[in-house]
Amino acid sequence: MANDNKKKSAAQKAAEAAPEQNPTEEARVKVVTATKVKGLSQGEKVAYLTAVQKERDEIRNSGEGNFLREHVRGLSIIAQAAILDIAAGEIACGTSAMGFIIAKNEETYSALLSMAAAQGIKLPSFKSLPTPTKDQLKAVGLEDVAPDNAVLVKIDKGDVSEETIDKKKKEVAAVAKAVENPAEIKNAEQLKASLTAMLVKPATEGSIDRPDARVQRTIDFYRGYLTIQANHAEKKKEELKKVKELSRTDMLNQISEIVGPCPFALKGAAFLLRKVTNETGSPISAFCLYRRGSVPTGGNPADDQYLADVVRIILIWSCNSQIAEFKSTVKDCEKIIKKNEELVKANKDKVAAAAVKEWNRQRDGYNLKIQELENILNLITSPSLDVVDNLIDDYNAENTESEHYKLAHRIVKNILDTYYPNTDIKKLEKETMLKNVQQRAGIIINMFRDPLNQSISYKESNLTEMVEIEAPAEEKGEESKGEEAPKN
């Protein structure tokens, strides 16, 4: 295990260490884990969640340009998933209600609302959310926030589905059975529990956690386990060679098969990544969204291929888990349909006939969801380069209402926000900007394609320096006047 850690790339080590490098976050954020959540006071639990939100609010209000406002959306995957995971864990552990304070932002809340619904949690409508009192804000370290700028969200036990509670209980149980040393694994059940715990528990205590940090820790643990097993095998050299040749993607695939359905702790991020992939028809925007939240502002650069691997596996894992659930539900629907059809055939039962119609409707709905998920799998495993090849033409299209035009502008904005965060698009020479963005989009698509099926038209060596347009003389004059004013 120790030798394996020495072989990690600098980028991988940086990605794992990044959360510990921000003392401001570390000082004010209290991470709540499934094993500790019941031991904290309600104020401490709420403090963690509001601290995450406060971090986002500070970024949003920093006035440093569009990138930082867009970075909030990337970070919100982590913050929102943490909120729902903690709330579900609390309810599963026996708490009757969970409350937290967030910024009064309907767009942000809408994303949280849809993600919660997909995870079996019903949240109140935005308009029904009450304003927190000054004492409530002060209790969680938000005394500097005006009450009218925040809302109080409460999740009661009845708002969380039994299925969700059951899943969280199983995760909590897994954490209790897990061991932290791969050498202590005694059987398949303990291996499954330990891998699940690695994915469920925060990778770094006292900091905002990231799914990719959990995934990397789990891969390291699993590689250590496989290495130990290989050392005890009859053909030791051959088995060690096999372990050494396993890629991160290979191991993560094996981990997903061992653990089973995608853990609830990763489900929130997976939902948002699935949603944006389905909306855009490619993994580009999902990758950008995840990458912006993977490394804190000012942190170390990310290993893009590693992050692409994480995004791909999380999406495949969550899609397959959902497909399995929906297929099981379809079978249940078909059993009920068959039973009611027999009643109709026997005595022309009108109630049974109505039931057949309703259950057929529900079955067809689940089949449509399965088709959508299968389409997302195809977009992730065999992404087309059409959107990249046509990006510049679509971006410059005359029909500004066309879907191709809107998609091209969305992709360009996502890539600029992700790779050129401190640039103003209005100040960039358009042709050079679009060529660079097109190259970056193609590079991203290549990371999701089979190595033998990658396009040689898109590669890092084709990227050039962005060119800024010189400001017109009139604007220069205005800027000069603005700079001289304070001297008078």
Over residues 236-262, mean pLDDT: 89
Two tokens at 325? 């659930």
- What percent of the chain lies above the pLDDT cut of 70? 75
42 HSE (CA, 13 A, CB side): 11
**pLDDT recorded at residue 326:** 93
CB-based contact 224:318 (threshold 8 Å): no
Q: What CA–CA distance (Å, rounded) separates 120 from 322?
A: 13
Residue whose token pair is 């997302």: 376
Question: Using CB atoms within 10 A of its CB, is residue 210 exposed (0-12), middle (13-18) or buried (19+)?
Answer: buried
pLDDT score for 35: 34
Res. 230: pLDDT tops 80: yes
Confidence at 8, pLDDT banded by 50, 70, 90: very low
Higher pLDDT, 139 or 224: 224
H or E segment at 151?
strand 150-156
Q: What is the mean pLDDT of residues 205-216?
A: 64
Confidence at 23, pLDDT banded by 50, 70, 90? very low
**Phi, psi dihedrals of residue 24, rounded to the nearest 5°:** -65, -45
Structural domain includes residue 481: no
> Average of pLDDT values for 119-130?
89
Least confident of 26-30, 75-79, 343-347, 482-486: 26-30
Query: Among 16-30, 89-103, 165-179, 343-357, which is the least confidently predicted range?
Result: 16-30
Q: What is the mean pLDDT of the chain?
A: 77
Kindly tell me the burial class for residue 430, based on how many C-beta atoms sit within 10 Å of its own C-beta (0-12, 13-18, 19 or more). Answer: middle
Give the count of domains, the chain. 1
Rank 27-36, 50-59, 440-449 by mean pLDDT and report only the highest: 440-449
> What is the arithmetic mean of pLDDT over 31-57?
46
d(CA 446, CA 456) in angstroms, rounded, equals 9
Per-residue tokens: 365: 């709905």
* Of the candidate ranges 60-69, 407-416, 464-473, the one whose mean pLDDT is the lowest: 60-69
Q: Is 175 left (phi over 0), alpha (psi -120 to 50) or beta?
A: alpha
Cα(428)–Cα(447) distance, integer angstroms: 27
Query: Is residue 144 in a domain?
Result: no
Q: What pLDDT score was predicted for residue 69?
A: 37
Grade residue 302 by pLDDT with cuts at 50, 70 and 90. low
Residue that wins the pLDDT comparison between 72 and 261? 261
CB 117, CB 271: distance < 8 Å: no
Confirm whether 36 is domain-assigned: no
Query: Is position 430 within any domain?
Result: yes
Please report which confidence band the pLDDT of residue 15 belongs to, taking 50, 70 and 90 as the band edges: very low
pLDDT for 103 equals: 74
| pLDDT, average across residues 258-286 | 88
Query: Rounded to whole angstroms, how far apart are CA atoms 146 and 74?
Result: 25
User: What is the extent of the structural domain holding 453?
Assistant: 386-474
pLDDT at 102: 76
Mean pLDDT across the stretch 42-59? 50
Residue type, 104: K
- At residue 438, the pLDDT reads 97
Q: Report how far Cα 432 is from the mean position of its chain's Cα atoms.
A: 31
Range from 86-95, 135-144, 164-173, 242-251 that averages highest in pLDDT: 242-251
User: 261 versus 44: which is more confidently predicted?
Assistant: 261
Q: Are 355 and 336 contacting, i.e. CB atoms less than 8 angstroms apart? A: yes
Q: Which residues contact 238 (CB under 8 A, 6 or more apart)?
A: none
pLDDT at 217 over 90: no
Instruction: Give the model's pLDDT for residue 76.
Output: 55
- Spatial CB neighbours of 447, under 8 Å, sequence gap ≥ 6: 287, 304, 305, 308
Residue with more model confidence, 465 or 140: 465
| pLDDT surpassing 80 at residue 106 | yes
- The dihedral formed by the CA atoms of 297, 298, 303 and 306, expressed in degrees to the nearest 10: -30
Answer whether 384's CB lies under 8 Å from 282's CB: yes
Confidence of residue 46 (pLDDT cuts 50, 70, 90): low
In a domain, 68, yes or no: no
More confident residue, 201 or 152: 152
User: How many other C-beta atoms lie within 10 A of the C-beta of residue 41?
Assistant: 9
pLDDT at 67: 32
Q: Over pLDDT 90: what percentage of the chain?
A: 36
Residue written as tokens 């990371």?
447
CA Rg, the chain, in Å? Answer: 25
Domain assignment present for 111? no
Judge whether 174 and 193 are in contact, CB under 8 Å: yes
Max CA-CA distance within the chain? 97
For residue 254, pLDDT over 50 is answered with yes
The per-residue pLDDT for 29 is 28
pLDDT interval class at 443 (50, 70, 90): very high
The verdict on residue 326 lying in a domain is no
Looking at residues 391-409, what average pLDDT do you find? Answer: 95
Global pTM value: 0.73
Instruction: Write down the pLDDT at residue 395.
Output: 96
Least confident of 162-171, 395-404, 433-442: 162-171
d(CA 195, CA 173): 13
- Is there a domain that residue 187 lies in? no
Cβ–Cβ under 8 Å, residues 417 and 71: yes
What three-state secondary structure class fits 22? Answer: coil
Mean pLDDT, to the nearest integer, of 105-116? 81
The count of residues in the chain is 488
